[in-house]
Amino acid sequence: MIGGMDAQSLISISLMKIHNSRTQRGGIKLHKNLLVSYVLRNARQVYIKEKYAEIYRMQQYEEVMTVCNEIQELNPLDLDAEEADEEERSRGEESSVCGAALQRGAAQPAALCRTGSAVSGCCPLEDVGKDPEPSYYRSCCMEAPPAAPCDPFTGSGGAHCNKTTVLDLDTHVVTTVENGFLHQDCCCAPTGQSAAKKRKVEFGCCVSDLDDVPDFTRKRAKREDCSFSDYTDTSNISNLISIFGSGFSGLLSRQADLEQICSKQALASLGAWTRAIVAF
Amino acid sequence: MYVFEEERKSYLKADIISTVEFNSSGELLATGDKGGRVVVFQREQESKSQPQRRGEYNVYSTFQSHEPEFDYLKSLEIEEKINKIKWLPQQNAAYFLLSTNDKTVKLWKISERDKRPEGYNLKDEDGRIRDPSTITSLRVPVLQPMDLMVEATARRVFSNAHTYHINSISVNSDLQTFISTDDLRVNLWNLEITDRSFNIVDIKPANMEELTEVITSAEFHPQQCHTFAYSSSKGSIRLCDMRQAALCDKHCKYFEEPEDPSTRSFFSEIISSISDVKFSHNGRYLMTRDYLTVKVWDLQMENKPLETYQVHDYLRGKLCSLYENDCIFDKFECVWNGSDSVIMTGSYNNFFRMFDRNTKRDVTLEASRENSKPRAILKPRKVCVGGKRRKDEISVDSLDFSKKILHTTWHPHENIIAVAATNNLYIFQDKVN
């Protein structure tokens, strides 16, 4: 938070300014839009860094959970004790090996554990028949496993190609540039039972399955879009995001070492996309 | 009632002064406003009978310089707002000035008429054309005195040379050429030729997506007719020599101060964007204004400014809200006094600041009707940045950000300043003992 405003708020305010500038008298002011795009870039860099940090913490949490699982498998005698602990945890109380392991990690994973999302890791397939709180699923989905490198999106996103249209004021040439993958629709928070169940099974079965990962991160991107579209008109923001051409989902990386490469790619493309706005 | 409010609002908006400029003798003061009008004030002759009216400025001429236009090809409106006025030095009885809006520069001739011809043959006294068959004799028209009339006529129109918005114009010391500058290009014109201009700077990238900076202002050197400087939105200034090449894309000097990483914020790029650049009268220094500071540069030293003055550093902690209400995009101008010893610039709450370069003293003054009666002495103001607020101090949170002084000008020889506060013009003179 800087001066009472966080990166997300700045992003939405900046996008609104760019949107409003289109209808301003006297035409689009190149200078002002360029400066706004710089603020947008800076805010997005901070936002992405925060997300990376969160993902990294999640990764640590995941690794700890994996260790938990392995420990459980090796010690079947502790299963009853674990189940009891899980029940407690789902009621919002922390305990047991998993809880302890999590506490060793960052505070955030511990908090996540408390919300019940840890449960799925500890006992992957046993709760299929259960009907937990909707909030559980929401957090479960939010803590999606990190995506594979950005490329799979372009591969699978043929039908959702994203375009940036640039009008050269000198030559009057309109250029449409296609890139990346971004859902235009801004979805509401998932509430459907079937959707929840589907998500749960996928999460339990195949944490590192690349096919499912884009699905999670896409949904996560949708939710992120929703969170700051509360600030303003949903359709305006989703349209503007499509203008930018690369969503936050495109910037998630599974491994820390890929993080560097991805972030550089992402930030390089960010620069291009943010400046594309100027040409409007 | 609603309609009335709307009309009133647009009326007031058109009155907002967008530029002020003294001519080279200081006798005339021109203002341009958002409605496209130019108002010229003339200084009264000092009379012995009324010594206290020490050369006041009165309205001399008013004319509509620019009208709103519509670009049908691009489907956009061209505002009539006068962005800049620059006077040409006086060469005969008439006065000439250049005025510009976003797209078109115009040369205006302001002249006095105190005689008119009477006794035409083909026209009668009312101006109606006479039937030639009724004319039986010829006479020579004679000039009769009349009431003084000041008329402004557009002598040249320099149009269709700018794709982007013109932000500045500058007359060359050769008095034959001038430059007009938009966001990406600088064009050189001859005052006599309107259908042709030369592009001397072009920073437009091949791919607009790679755009990183725009030109914010440009000015000719006051003595060297081949030298000009232009400032950028990245906080740098380039000095160019037109003798080097036809296209001055390569600068001969590049002035930039490295950014202090400890002050980096979301808004670093915005507050480092230069809003105005002015050569000193002696041609040895450059002054630049960015959002929070005024800097004086020595033309011989490129790596850092000679002097930096904090205009309103207390705003540094309020950049977020200033971004939200768009105030952070305000473009403040700066100005030298005649001897280059004092610099002045505007701020918010109708405050303006003066910095004495020799004594290093600064003063904050306010331009407001409530606080200053005619011939009253301006009281220095102070902004309280923290802690206990003293009496007469104003706290940062009480500042009115809708009252901003963006445009100021200083008489070329005397201590007379003109300050534009929204739709009001204030003229202040030095105290007479």
The answer as to whether B211 is a domain residue is: no
Does any domain span residue B23? yes
Q: Give the model's pLDDT for residue B163.
A: 95
The CA distance from A236 to A205, in Å, is: 37
Confidence band (pLDDT; 50, 70, 90) for A176?
Answer: low
pLDDT at B308 over 60: yes
pLDDT at A199 over 50: no
Predicted pLDDT at B339? 96
The answer, yes or no, to whether residue B165 has pLDDT greater than 70, is: yes
Asked if residue B48 is part of any domain, the answer here is yes
Pairing of strands B198-202, B215-220: unpaired
Percentage of chain A lying above the pLDDT 70 cut:
25
Weakest-pLDDT range from A61-65, A125-129, B143-147, B252-256: A125-129
Residue B252 lies in a domain: no
Query: Mind listing the pLDDT tens digit for each residue in B27-65?
Result: 999 999 999 999 999 998 877 776 666 678 999 999 999
Residue B2 falls inside a structural domain: no
- Is A276 a residue whose pLDDT tops 60? no
Answer yes or no: do A4 and B77 touch at CB < 8 A.
no
Kindly indicate the confidence band of residue A203, based on its pLDDT and cuts at 50, 70 and 90. Answer: very low
Separation between Cα atoms, residue A97 and residue B208, nearest integer Å: 57
For the residues B127-143, what does the mean pLDDT come to?
89
B17 pLDDT exceeds 90? Answer: yes
What mean pLDDT do residues B282-309 have?
97
pLDDT in the model for residue A20: 93
Of the ranges A229-243, B139-153, B223-237, which is most confident?
A: B223-237
CATH of the domain at B76: 2.130.10.10
* Parent domain of B49: 11-112+149-159
A82, A135, A219 from A132: Cα distances, Å: 18, 8, 20
Tokens (6 digits) for A187: 């979805």
Name the pLDDT band for A106 (thresholds 50, 70, 90).
Answer: very low
B309-352 pLDDT per residue, tens = 999 999 999 999 999 999 999 999 999 999 999 999 999 999 99
**Residue numbers in B near A168 (CB within 8 A):** 208
At B305, list the tokens. 């400014």
Q: What number is the average pLDDT over the span B405-420?
A: 96
Q: What is the percent of chain B where pLDDT is above 70?
A: 95
Provide the shortest C-alpha distance from residue B315 to chain A (in Å): 11
Q: State yes or no: pLDDT of B372 exceeds 90.
A: no
Of A260-274, B37-51, B192-206, minimum mean pLDDT range: A260-274
Q: Enter the pTM of the model.
A: 0.70
**pLDDT tier at A269, thresholds 50, 70, 90:** very low
pLDDT class of A258 with cuts at 50, 70, 90: very low
Which of A174-178, B180-184, B427-431 shows the lowest per-residue confidence on average (mean pLDDT)?
A174-178
Q: Which of B266, B276, B316 to mutate to test the interface with A (most CBs of A within 10 A)?
A: B266
The percentage of residues in chain B with a pLDDT greater than 90, rounded to a whole number, is 78
User: Does the distance separating the beta carbons of B211 and A31 come in below 8 Å?
Assistant: no
Examine the pLDDT at B97 and tell me if it is beyond 50: yes
Tell me, yes or no, whether B40 lies in a domain: yes
For residue A268, pLDDT over 70 is answered with no
Of A148-157, A269-278, B97-106, the least confident: A148-157
- CB distance B76–A10 less than 8 Å? no
Q: What is the pLDDT of residue B376?
A: 77
Q: What is the pLDDT of residue B365?
A: 95
Higher pLDDT, B335 or B126: B335
pLDDT at B10 over 80: no
Where does chain A have alpha helices with state H? 7-21, 30-74, 79-90, 96-104, 107-115, 118-122, 134-142, 151-156, 193-205, 212-229, 234-244, 256-278
- pLDDT bin (cut points 50, 70, 90) of residue B244 is very high
In terms of average pLDDT, the best of A43-47, B112-116, B224-228 is: B224-228
Who wins on pLDDT, B351 or A135? Answer: B351
Tell me, yes or no, whether B215 lies in a domain.
no
Domain tally, chain B: 1
User: For all residues of chain B together, what is the average pLDDT?
Assistant: 92
Residue A169 pLDDT > 70: no
pLDDT interval class at A171 (50, 70, 90): low
- Indicate the range of A51-55, A81-85, A166-170, B329-333 predicted with least confidence: A81-85
Of B10, B181, B318, B323, which to mutate for an interface test with A (greatest number of A Cβ within 10 Å)?
B323
Return the pLDDT at B374.
72
Q: Which residue of A has its CA nearest to B265?
A: A42
Residue B367 lies in a domain: no
Q: Whole-number mean pLDDT of chain A? A: 55
**Chain B residues touching residue A42 (CB < 8 angstroms):** 265-269
Q: Do B269 and A3 touch (CB under 8 A)?
A: no
Tokens of B278: 């002015």
CA distances from B126 to A249, B106, B116, B123 (A): 79, 32, 13, 8
What mean pLDDT is predicted for residues A214-229? 41
Q: Within a 10 A sphere around the Cβ of A138, how many other Cβ atoms?
A: 18
The verdict on a CB contact (< 8 Å) between A35 and B208 is no
ipTM of the complex: 0.90
> Which residues of B lie inside 8 Å of A (Cβ-Cβ)?
71, 73-74, 76-79, 81, 102, 163-165, 167, 183-184, 204, 208-214, 216, 233, 265-270, 273, 317-321, 323-324, 326, 329
Residue pair A279/A57 in contact (Cβ under 8 Å)? The answer is: no
User: B369 pLDDT exceeds 90?
Assistant: no
Contact across the interface for A27 and B329, Cβ inside 8 Å: no
Which has more confidence, B360 or A230? B360
Query: Alpha-carbon distance B278 to B217, whole Å?
Result: 9
Q: Which residue has 């594979």 as its token pair?
A: A148
Q: Which residue has the higher pLDDT, B7 or B184?
A: B184
> Is the pLDDT assigned to residue A163 strictly greater than 90?
no
> Residue B257: is its pLDDT beyond 90?
yes
Q: What is the pLDDT of residue A97?
A: 42
Contact check, Cβ <8 Å, A3/B329: no
Cβ pair A13:B165 closer than 8 A: no
pLDDT score of A210: 38
| Contact yes or no for A225/A247 (Cβ under 8 A) | yes
